[in-house]
Structure 1
Amino acid sequence: MIVVSEEKLRNLAFRLLCALGIPTEDASVGADVLLASDLRGVDSHGVARLQLYYRRLRKDLINRTPTLKVIQDSGSAVVLDADNGLGICTAPRAMKLCIERAKEHGIASVATRNTNHFGIAGYYALMATEENMIGLVAANTTPFMAPFGGSERLLGTNPIAIGVPGEQFPIVLDMATSIVAVGKLQIAIRKQERIPLGWLLDKEGKPTDNPKALWEGGSLLPMAGPKGYGLAVMVDLLAALLAGAAVGRDIGDLMIDDRPERIGHFMLAMDVGRFQDVERFKEAVDAYIAMIKRSRPAEGVNEIFLPGEIEILKAKERKEKGIPLNPVVAQNLLEFARTLGIASGFDTFEDLIK
């Protein structure tokens, strides 16, 4: 592993996004989203995602300079068209608008159509918690999952995140509705590892431990069987149909690079202060955290964690010790930098991040 400081990794992400033609302000926002993922230990959605964005931007499948258009505005509910912009740059603006409207109305929602992959959903839920709000975020994605009982890929991993502010730390649920995110398979491929049986079916519908099977016509399984399937359906209804975004076969495949994704994002913010005193609520959240953590652990378990707590601890560790990068990811970033003219053919990755 190559270990990179938080500052150097963010700077590299910023430089690469700028070199890809993303305006400076948007590149700065996008770099923050990617860095947050790597800090929290969600390595599949951090700077490793630049490989995917690089390919799609080079093929002009993403609009580098989008104009967010208001399609409908009723005050507490807004529909936006992201103009096929890069999701990690447009989604923070949508969530910022959602929070602003929630400050005005108490509760607000923003649905976005014609957009693209936005990184980790938890980033946007945390934006709400930082403003003493509860945030709920969902996005539909490229179909990699068959309906429960089916064999045809029609549903995405369709992530959901919910963030609740606390005094000690925010509680943040950030999960794919598939049993595992696509990025976990990509990590396994980079590490040349097999995956557990039960994650993936091959193109014949049989369980496989080969992560490459997904790109050979296989399909992910929903988490918790029919429950995960049901959640994935609800994300499609909220993030896609409500926003007027693409769904199912109409989504541009994120990996094939054939056409724009045109997916949807759904964001909801609730001002805690409209329900009760914020400090009293945070104290109640902390008491709830204490109740869970002081409860008797199961055999073989040393500590019980709240949703998002492990990521908070990981971020603290990586801020202090640096962020580990897989050598394959580092090499990919170096190749992008060379192609984009910000590194000579003789540079090493270590030279690139100096």
Structure 2
Amino acid sequence: MTTLPLRDARLLVEAALTRAGHTAEESAVIADHLVDCETRGLGFGGLARALSVVERKRAAAAPPRSIRTVAETPVSATVDGGDHVGYLVGAHALELATAKARAHGMAVVGARNTWYTGMFSYYLERAARAGFFGMIAGSGPAMVAPFGGTEARFGTNPIAFGFPADPSPVIWDIGTSAVMYGEAVLKDRLGERLVPGQAYDAAGAPTLDPAQALEGAFAVWGGHKGSGLALVVQLLGMMSGAAADPPGLSDCGFFVLLLDPERLTDARAYARRVTELAAAVRATRPVEGGGAVRVPFDRSAACRERTLRRGTIEVPGAVVAALRREAGHS
């Protein structure tokens, strides 16, 4: 592992992205998201993802088009991402939704023609801190087998919910696959193996090889219940106009719903009740030999706080070396 000061990590990511063709402003938006993932201990969505962004951008048949709104009402919008990376499209969609929810109390925005939208908790933390309840769902190319099958039919299909609370929001952010795409890609880069039960090869046989899994299918999370949730998330993402099974890494769907609690109840009182319930959950008597009970997002928030105090992150040396090559530093 290589130790990087946070500022150096951000500058390295920005340099690699800018050299790959992103503007300085775009690179800063993407880097902020990726470095935040690293500070929260989510390395597969952090600096390693910058390499995947560069590779996907380099492989594109044509440069991306402008991000544009193709349909709109006072409380809704549909965005065509123009094949831009999802960190940019998601930020644009959230900005649209936030403005509409602030003006009208609620908003729903869908985006299509994008890829790699990142950690939905990143967006929802911002929405919740602005006082909104939020839900985000995302569809994508077939990578995950439904329960009982071994052929890919769903995307990894993350879904997340965020609620305003103090001192930090309550956010539940999950993928509906047994292993996330970014995890498999990073393990393949590093020559590591998957966990048994996470994936199948192209012939349908269980595999621990991430390269074979990327050519085959990931298992679904949560058995038949997770499989049903994965289907629902795919359908929500498709509401933006995204394809059911787009070719390659393209045309992912992004669905964001924001609601101002003030339209239903006293917003400050609601946030206080959320805070109280979260505190009660944390105070639950743990099982014998178990640790303290946590609320979703507690681990991420605590990890980030420790990382920010330390001021450094640990990144696989192979990832750092590859980023330095992409940035023209070696």
Tell me if TM exceeds 0.5.
yes
**What is the alpha-carbon root mean square deviation over aligned residues?**
1.7
1:201 corresponds in structure 2 to: 200
- Percent of pairs with identical residues: 29
Q: 1:334 to 1:24 in 2, by over 3 A?
A: closer
Asked whether 1:11 is paired with 2:11, we answer yes
1:80-91 matched pairs, under 5 angstroms = 80-91=79-90
2:298 corresponds in structure 1 to: 309
Deviations 1:314-346 (A, max 9, x none): 1111112211101111111122123xxxx2x4x
Asked whether the equivalents of residues 63 and 86 of structure 1 are also in contact (C-alpha less than 8 Å), the reply is no
Unaligned runs of 5+ in 2: none
Unaligned runs of 5+ in 1: 255-260, 346-354
1:233-248 matched pairs, under 5 angstroms = 233-240=231-238, 242-248=239-245
Instruction: Report the Cα distance in structure 1 between the residues aligned to 2:228 and 2:326, rounded to whole angstroms.
Output: 39
| Structure 1 residue 232, shift from structure 2 partner | 1.5
Q: 1:61 to 1:315 in 2, by over 3 A?
A: farther
2:131 corresponds in structure 1 to: 132
| Structure 1 residue 106, shift from structure 2 partner | 0.9
1:71-110 matched pairs, under 5 angstroms = 71-110=70-109
Instruction: Report the Cα distance in structure 1 between the residues aligned to 2:288 and 2:189, rounded to whole angstroms.
Output: 34
Instruction: Report the Cα distance in structure 2 between the residues aligned to 1:173 and 1:212, rounded to whole angstroms.
Output: 29
| Structure 1 residue 90, shift from structure 2 partner | 1.9
| Structure 1 residue 231, shift from structure 2 partner | 1.4
Asked whether 1:270 is paired with 2:268, we answer no
Letter in 2 for 1:185: A
1:55-66 matched pairs, under 5 angstroms = 55-61=55-61, 63-64=63-64, 66=65
Instruction: Report the Cα distance in structure 2 between the residues aligned to 1:125 and 1:277, rounded to whole angstroms.
Output: 21
1:166-315 matched pairs, under 5 angstroms = 166-215=165-214, 217-240=215-238, 242-248=239-245, 251-254=246-249, 261-315=250-304
Letter in 2 for 1:296: R
Letter in 2 for 1:113: R
Asked whether the equivalents of residues 124 and 135 of structure 1 are also in contact (C-alpha less than 8 Å), the reply is no
1:335-350 matched pairs, under 5 angstroms = 335-338=325-328, 343=329, 345=330
Asked whether the equivalents of residues 48 and 186 of structure 2 are also in contact (C-alpha less than 8 Å), the reply is no
Letter in 1 for 2:254: H
SS of the equivalent of 1:83 reads strand
Give me the TM-score of the superposition, normalised by structure 2.
Answer: 0.94
1:352 corresponds in structure 2 to: none
Asked whether 1:331 is paired with 2:321, we answer yes
Q: 1:284 to 1:110 in 2, by over 3 A?
A: same
Deviations 1:252-271 (A, max 9, x none): 323xxxxxx02211111111
Letter in 1 for 2:235: L
Deviations 1:226-250 (A, max 9, x none): 111111111221112x1111222xx
Instruction: Report the Cα distance in structure 2 between the residues aligned to 1:297 and 1:107, rounded to whole angstroms.
Output: 38
Letter in 2 for 1:301: G
Letter in 1 for 2:273: A
| Structure 1 residue 61, shift from structure 2 partner | 4.6
Asked whether the equivalents of residues 12 and 327 of structure 2 are also in contact (C-alpha less than 8 Å), the reply is no
Asked whether the equivalents of residues 138 and 159 of structure 2 are also in contact (C-alpha less than 8 Å), the reply is yes
Instruction: Report the Cα distance in structure 2 between the residues aligned to 1:234 and 1:150, rounded to whole angstroms.
Output: 17
Letter in 1 for 2:157: N
Q: How many residues align?
A: 329
Instruction: Report the Cα distance in structure 2 between the residues aligned to 1:99 and 1:63, rounded to whole angstroms.
Output: 29
| Structure 1 residue 299, shift from structure 2 partner | 2.1
2:23 corresponds in structure 1 to: 23
Instruction: Report the Cα distance in structure 1 between the residues aligned to 2:187 and 2:25, rounded to whole angstroms.
Output: 34
SS of the equivalent of 1:208 reads coil
Asked whether 1:37 is paired with 2:26, we answer no
Instruction: Report the Cα distance in structure 2 between the residues aligned to 1:294 and 1:81, rounded to whole angstroms.
Output: 45
Instruction: Report the Cα distance in structure 1 between the residues aligned to 2:306 and 2:62, rounded to whole angstroms.
Output: 34
SS of the equivalent of 1:179 reads coil
| Structure 1 residue 191, shift from structure 2 partner | 4.8
Instruction: Report the Cα distance in structure 1 between the residues aligned to 2:123 and 2:327, rounded to whole angstroms.
Output: 28
Q: 1:304 to 1:61 in 2, by over 3 A?
A: farther
SS of the equivalent of 1:196 reads coil
Q: 1:60 to 1:206 in 2, by over 3 A?
A: closer
Q: 1:62 to 1:220 in 2, by over 3 A?
A: farther
Between stretches 54-63 and 278-287, larger displacement belongs to: 54-63
Letter in 2 for 1:305: R
Asked whether the equivalents of residues 89 and 111 of structure 2 are also in contact (C-alpha less than 8 Å), the reply is no
Instruction: Report the Cα distance in structure 2 between the residues aligned to 1:40 and 1:214, rounded to whole angstroms.
Output: 26
Q: 1:11 to 1:273 in 2, by over 3 A?
A: farther
